[in-house]
Structure 1
């Protein structure tokens, strides 16, 4: 499993390094989350969510996206969101903050109470993150509320 995570991260970095550095009007990006750290570790927790997602960002830095993953309890889950990205290029080129919010699906049964405002497997997610972008690739540190944090990698696929 660890080798597939490393291979996927290397492939995203290689893909992103191929393109130009210029920011286009709109950007479509692919994201991969290989690891989650839980604040309160439990042997039953899933620390490798295999998160994959797509995100679209407009010229004003508003964004929308969808992520597919296995949650901390190994249940197939989805996060559909809107949000905003703030650039700190004047202070530290490439550094950014991001805040997203939207429906979080998949926490069901005995795990329904593990996310806020969840009813029948439909809850609400709010995720703040800090990231760094170099050309077409990015790495991001996202806080997952009281559960823990996630490391993600991204690559800009398309711009128009």
Structure 2
């Protein structure tokens, strides 16, 4: 179930104005697997992450993701960030950094992520991605916990 904060954030992202110039992108992302550095049998390695992200022509972005965290708790991540294309290395490579509110690490798992207070934490997530046409794949660094592998598809460009 989405929180009130999440509903407000999604409403803001969906209400972003479209301009006449091209470069606006709305994408859907799926995160099927997390590799944890620590092989704790309690860890959930299949978060089922589903996300929606808007990217402006300036490459600034905003989004929301919904998943099951490392301890199988429902979790939400509402973020803003920036993407940099690495055309000098490859026309398909990019780096992305996002920062925002991570909701869901509660109870006995509250201390498993830094800056967490009663289930709400601040997170910064850097990622390296590869995109061809409408399809992308990313490896996102989850602090000292591990990496998440994600796949995306651009739903629309205008």
The TM tier, using the shorter chain, reads: 0.7 to 0.9
Aligned residues: 138
8 Å Cα contact 1:138/1:155 also seen in 2: yes
> Is there any run of 5+ residues in structure 2 with no aligned partner, and where?
1-20
TM-score by length of 2: 0.85
The structural deviation recorded for 1:115 is 1.1
Residues 55-111 of structure 1, C-alpha deviations (whole Å, 9 max, x = no match): 000001000000000000000000000000000123211100000000000000000
RMSD: 1.1
Matched, 1:44 2:45: no
Q: Where does 1:6-155 land on structure 2 (aligned, <5 Å)?
A: 24-155=22-153
> Is there any run of 5+ residues in structure 1 with no aligned partner, and where?
1-22
Q: Which residue of 2 aligns with 1:7?
A: none
The structural deviation recorded for 1:24 is 3.3
SS of equivalent to 2:77:
strand
Greater shift in the superposed pair: 77-86 or 113-122: 113-122
The structural deviation recorded for 1:43 is 1.0
SS of equivalent to 1:32:
strand
8 Å Cα contact 1:105/1:121 also seen in 2: yes
TM-score by length of 1: 0.84
8 Å Cα contact 1:115/1:124 also seen in 2: no
